[in-house]
Amino acid sequence: MDTKLAISKEVFAPHDEKMLVAVQVKRRTKKRIPFLATGGQGDYSTFICISKTKKKPCQVSITKVKKFAGSSVFVRRSQWSIDLLRQVNGIDPNRECAEFDLTFDTAFDQWVAGSAGEKGIFVQVLHTSCQQHCSERKPEFVNCQAHLLRGNSILHTAADSVTSAVQKASQALNERGERLGRTEEKTEDMMNSAQHFADTAHKLAMKHKC
């Protein structure tokens, strides 16, 4: 099963939540943890997820999910309402980068995503969710690329692609129609020339016959 699909099914579905996005991350600065809740030191994968409740009014949350080495189970470790989010730092607004910071009322984490694209999708979904569902003051988004903060730009991009495809198809049909039109004109000219030639030949034949 796909990892993100598994997280959605195992972690969020039982709590009647819909997962909007999940991105695998690593800490830029590691914390010193004396032991793990699973019973000892070990490797693990961390995912930062955005989810919302299916019941209205919707409550949007940011959840830290882990999967420990040797286990097939995803574990919910921490969860914050977006009303507790104070700042999202995209680190550098002038270039594609995978780093970002999340600052809550009682927590601060420095992350690096698997790629700049994954981080971009996460930031975009988070920004849109905050604009739509924050009941109090909205968090500050700093050092983020402008195109990530334009609402549903992913949808706009898809729509632009469809529009572009339709325009190209329409242009191709118009050009084909023009070519067919020119072909019909040439055919008509050839037919007229042939008829003129036939009439002339007939007149010459009658003249010589006389």
- 105-114 tens-digit pLDDT: 989 999 999 9
Domain boundaries, the chain: 3-151, 152-210
Would you state the pLDDT for residue 156?
43
**C-alpha span between 122 and 143 (Å, rounded):** 15
Q: What is the pLDDT of residues 19-65, one digit of tens each?
A: 999 999 999 976 555 544 444 446 999 999 999 999 988 999 999 99
Among 69, 41, 68, 49, residue whose Cα is nearest residue 9: 49
Answer yes or no: are the C-beta atoms of 50 and 129 closer than 8 Å.
yes
Element (H, E) at 123: helix 116-133
Answer yes or no: are the C-beta atoms of 64 and 55 closer than 8 Å.
no
Would you state the pLDDT for residue 29?
78
Radius of gyration of the chain (CA): 32
Q: Give the three-state DSSP class for 51.
A: strand
For domain 3-151, the CATH class is mainly beta
pLDDT (tens digit, 0 to 9) for every residue of the chain, 210 residues total? 689 999 999 999 999 999 999 999 999 976 555 544 444 446 999 999 999 999 988 999 999 999 999 999 999 999 999 999 999 999 999 999 999 999 999 899 999 999 999 999 999 999 999 999 987 789 999 999 999 998 654 444 433 444 455 455 556 666 666 666 666 666 666 666 666 656 666 566 566 555
Would you state the pLDDT for residue 123?
97
Model confidence, pTM: 0.67
